Structure 1
Amino acid sequence: MSNRKPYVREMKRTWWSNHPFYRFYMLREATVLPLILFTLFLTVGLASLVKGPEAWGTWLSFMANPIVVAINIVALAGSLLHAHTFFGMMPQVMPLRLKGKLIDKKVIVLSQWAAVAFISLIVLIIV
C-alpha cells in the first residue's frame, strides 16, 4: 500500500458564484421559495373559506398586506422564469416532427406561450 495522500480539490461554498451559468441556475432554483409561500397562502385561504365568512375576511385582509403582495409578485415572476426556461428547452429535449420534418423551435415555443395565454384568458373569463 502506498503512503501517498489522494488529491482532494478544495470546494468552497460559493463555487457557483464564479460562473454566470451557475448563478442563473441558482437564481432559478431559489425562486421555489416564494412559490412555496404562495402555495401555503392559497392553502390557508382554502381552509379559511371552509371555516366561514369571518375567517375568509381575515385571510383577504392578510392577502392585502404589501409584503404578501410583493411575495406573490416575486412568485409570479419566478413562475414566468420557470415557464420561459422550460419552454425554451422543450424543443431540444423533445424535437417534434410533422410529416417527417422537424418543426421549427420558435414555432414550438410560441405555441406553448399561446396556450398559456389562451388558458389564462379562459380562467380570467370564468373568474
Structure 2
Amino acid sequence: MSNRKPYVRPMNRTWWSKHPFYRFYMLREATVLPLILFTLFMLCGLASLVKGPVAWLEWQHFMQNPLVIAINIVALAGSLFHAATFFSMMPQVMPIKVAGKKVEPKMIITAQWGAVAVISLIVLVLV
C-alpha cells in the first residue's frame, strides 16, 4: 500500500458560475424559490377562508402589499421561464412520431403553449 495521498481537485462554492450552461441551469432551478412563497401565500389564503370572513379580509389585505405583489410577479415570470425551458426540451426528451414520421419540434412546442393558453382561458372563464 502506498503512502501517497490521492489528488483531490479543489472545488469552491461558485464553481457553477464559470460556465454558461450551469449558470442557466442554476437560474432555472432557482425559479422554485418564489413559487414556494406563492404556494405558501395561497395555502394561507385557503386557511383564512376556512377561518371566516374576517380572516379572509385580512388575507386579502395582506395580498395587496406591494412586496407580495412583486413576489407573485416574480413567481409568474419564474414559472413561465420554467415552462419555456421545459417545453423546449420536450421534443428532445420524448420525440413524437405520427404515422412513422417524427413530428417537428416547433410543432410540439407550439402545441404545448396552445394547451397552456386554452387551459388558462378556461380557468379565466370559470373564475
Shift of 1:5: 1.2
**Counterparts of 1:102 and 1:28 in 2: how far apart (Å)?**
28
The answer to whether the aligner puts 1:78 opposite 2:75 as a matched pair is no
Which aligned segments of 4 or more residues in structure 1 are displaced greater than 4 angstroms? none
Match of 1:43 in 2: 43
Deviation by residue 1:80-121 (Cα, 9 ceiling, x = unmatched): 011001101111111000000000000000000000000001
Partner-residue secondary structure (3-state), 1:13: coil
Match of 1:108 in 2: 108
Amino acid of the structure 2 residue aligned with 1:60:
Q
**Counterparts of 2:54 and 2:121 in 1: how far apart (Å)?**
31
**Counterparts of 2:94 and 2:27 in 1: how far apart (Å)?**
25
Shift of 1:124: 0.6
Deviation by residue 1:45-70 (Cα, 9 ceiling, x = unmatched): 00100111100000000000000000
**Counterparts of 2:63 and 2:11 in 1: how far apart (Å)?**
42
Shift of 1:31: 1.2
Match of 1:30 in 2: 30
Stretches of structure 1 lacking an aligned partner (at least 5 in a row): none
Amino acid of the structure 1 residue aligned with 2:45:
G
Amino acid of the structure 1 residue aligned with 2:14:
T
Cα RMSD for the two superposed structures = 0.6
The answer to whether the aligner puts 1:53 opposite 2:53 as a matched pair is yes
**Counterparts of 2:26 and 2:107 in 1: how far apart (Å)?**
29
* TM-score w.r.t. length of structure 1: 0.98
Shift of 1:26: 0.9
Count of aligned pairs: 127
**Counterparts of 2:85 and 2:30 in 1: how far apart (Å)?**
14
The 5-angstrom pairing of residues 4-23 of structure 1 reads 4-23=4-23
Shift of 1:27: 1.1
